Amino acid sequence: MINENVKARLREYKVFVDDGVTFLLALHYGFKPNFFPDELQKKMNICKFYERDGTTGTLKWLMPLFDQQVTGFDWVKDWMEMFAEINPERKGVVKYVMPRMKKFFVENPDVRKEEVIGATKMYFRNVTAPMYLKSSQKFIMEGKGADKYSMLEEWVEKYRNWQGVQEGRTSFNNTMN
């Protein structure tokens, strides 16, 4: 649910609520559609829902967009550091990693943060040398269209299968009961 304070501020600044919410959702999930009028973009900047870091280009939300929202994906920065511990060159850049991770969660709403971290650690155990480690952003997703590929999605599936084995939820075990 969209935070009622967001809707109230949009009305206060005379922004049509549906237009403002659509704009904020696109921004939140890292999409950059070209159909928003310049006037709407200017009004949204005046509303002060967010501020953009001039150096990295990342957004800092000043008001939660959703009710009871944990304001973000700050954990992703720690996740990126896990890559840096193995190969500093593969850490990635926040302004590229954050939108990919957000998009990953949009496309995979059943995946949880803990699964991403567990799957990543499992992937690390299978890397034979630091030079073969994927960069964090390419691990999340790379390519476009029919060539789009997510190692993270693959490793989450492997992690879930491993978790099932650890909890005795394999089809083999189920047939034995």
What is the C-alpha separation between 156 and 163, in angstroms, rounded?
Answer: 10
pTM exceeding the 0.85 threshold for the entire prediction? no
CA-wise closest residue to 102 among 86, 116, 81, 88:
116
Instruction: Quote the pLDDT of residue 174.
Output: 40
Instruction: Quote the pLDDT of residue 136.
Output: 97
Q: What is the DSSP letter of 72?
A: -
Please compute Rg for the chain using Cα positions. 20
Instruction: Quote the pLDDT of residue 31.
Output: 83
Instruction: Quote the pLDDT of residue 173.
Output: 40
Q: Pick out the chain residues at pLDDT < 70.
A: 68-72, 167-177
Instruction: Quote the pLDDT of residue 18.
Output: 94
146-157 pLDDT, tens digit per residue, is 889 999 999 999
Report the DSSP beta bridge partners of residue 2: 66
Instruction: Quote the pLDDT of residue 168.
Output: 66
Q: What number of other Cβ atoms are within 10 A of residue 63's Cβ?
A: 15
Residue showing tokens 């005046």: 46
Tell me the longest C-alpha to C-alpha distance in the chain. Answer: 65
